[in-house]
A = this chain, B = another copy of it.
Amino acid sequence: MTVGFTLHATDGPARRGTLTTAHGTVETPAFMPVGTAATVKALPPAMVAETGAEILLGNTYHLMLRPGAERIARLGGLHAFMRWDRPILTDSGGFQVMSLAGRRTISEEGVLFQSHLDGSRHHLTPRTAVHIQHLLDSDVTMVLDECTPFPVDREVAAASMARSMRWAGRCRDAFVDRPGYGLFGIVQGSVFEDLRARSAAALLEIGFDGYAIGGLAVGEGQGTTFAMTDVTTPLLPANRPRYLMGVGKPDDLVGAVARGIDLFDCVLPTRSGRTGQAWTRFGPLSLSNARHAEDPRPLDPACRCPACRGGFSRAYLNHLVRAKEILAAILLTAHNLTYYQDLMAGLRAAIATGTLRAFQAAFAADFGGSTDNGSAPGGEHAARRADAAGTSFPR
């Protein structure tokens, strides 16, 4: 037995399901907060759970370097170490390693790289990437792959994809099957439809417990991200979860769910929380902006997060951001993750009731941008319009 995946309902390509792992279940479509260094930055795990998150993403690259995968294994695995007893998916470390320009060498065997912390040398191969994730006790292990930059020549993308598929096979060989633990393959091929198709076919030939779409959200634009998703999802088995890596903004999530994606991860809600930005139904708000300095309203009176429910005003958040107080990061991260989780809950409910199209329309009207045309959302503009009209947060 591997990780389980049950489909409950569909609405067009969109799917409502449940992922079952060794550490519990995840209702999908789901957003995974990023817990890079064994912590979702700025939040205790109990507050992460309160946002509604059911699964976290851990970064193999960071954890293998500090505190080290063996150490985490000796301390009982990543769940026990960071006190998160629900499911964890880990990436393979490939994405971070590839970004170490000038400090890594890729070969058929894997990637030789130098730590950004102390310059120590490491070799990440398909086998070691899987082994490290086993040491971490990840519920979902990701294959080692190369995430090509954008733009990239077709020839380079093809060669990289082909090697990533060979690595995927070696990861499958190295992965130790256990009940509740799964291995996901990753479709590559940049923005070339035929390469995406060949990559998907190669992964299906090997056989995985779930399928990710990688190499997107790297600058190609929402329209292309969606186009590649449209090309890829029909090629993937309906009875296995699909994960669009590194995505995204709220409107990216809505559009990708409508295209049949089940899992997401992105640093955006957490990173935004540490840089003074709040995500709301009406788009993003920059709390450092002086226009919030005497605004007694919460970010969103309808929000159930500790910041909104706790009655912290935009004026107070503006003060905390300007004073660089840690509480700003705590409150805004909790708010952003809660908004993201509630958005996913809304999408799940819409799929279950066959009302996704209406949900998308209402979301787009509030959020201030189309979720479907590749343009940036209205965001701060929409929120300002709502403010100016005195009708913001009408619920």
Contacts and interface: CB of A to CB of B under 8 A. Distances in A.
Interface of A: 37-39, 41-46, 66-67, 71, 74-76, 81-83, 274, 293-294, 296, 306, 310-313, 315-316, 318-320, 322-323, 325-327, 329-331
A330 B326 CA distance: 9
B74 A294 contact: yes
Given A66-B319, A319-B67, A323-B66, A83 B42 contact: no
Contacts of A318: 67
Contacts of A81: 313, 315-316, 319
A296 B83 CA distance: 12
A44 B310 contact: yes
B327 A44 contact: yes
Contact of A329 (B37, B38, B310, B326): B326
Contact of A294 (B71, B274, B330): B71
Given A44-B327, A75-B294, 11 more contacts: A39-B327, A41-B325, A42-B330, A44-B306, A66-B322, A67-B293, A71-B315, A83-B310, A83-B312, A83-B316, A274-B326
18 contacts: A39-B327, A42-B326, A44-B306, A44-B330, A44-B331, A46-B310, A67-B293, A67-B318, A67-B322, A71-B315, A74-B294, A75-B316, A81-B315, A81-B319, A82-B316, A274-B326, A326-B329, A326-B330
A74 B319 CA distance: 14
A39 B320 contact: yes
Contact of A327 (B42, B312, B315): B42
Nearest to A295: B75
A17 B369 CA distance: 60
A38 B323 CA distance: 10
A81 to B, nearest CB: 6
A74 B306 CA distance: 23
A37 B76 CA distance: 40
Contacts of A42: 326-327, 330
Nearest to A307: B44
Given A46-B310, A83-B310, A316-B81, A71 B330 contact: no
B71 A293 contact: yes
Contacts of A323: 37, 66
A327 B67 contact: no
A129 to B, nearest CB: 21
A325 B82 CA distance: 12
B294 A326 contact: no
* 10 nearest A-B residue pairs (beta carbon): A42-B326, A67-B319, A39-B327, A37-B323, A39-B325, A75-B315, A81-B316, A83-B311, A83-B310, A83-B312
A325 B37 contact: yes
Contacts of A294: 71, 74-75
A300 to B, nearest CB: 16
Nearest to A322: B66
A233 to B, nearest CB: 36
Contacts of A316: 38, 75, 81-83
Nearest to A39: B327
A326 B46 contact: no
Contacts of A75: 294, 296, 313, 315-316
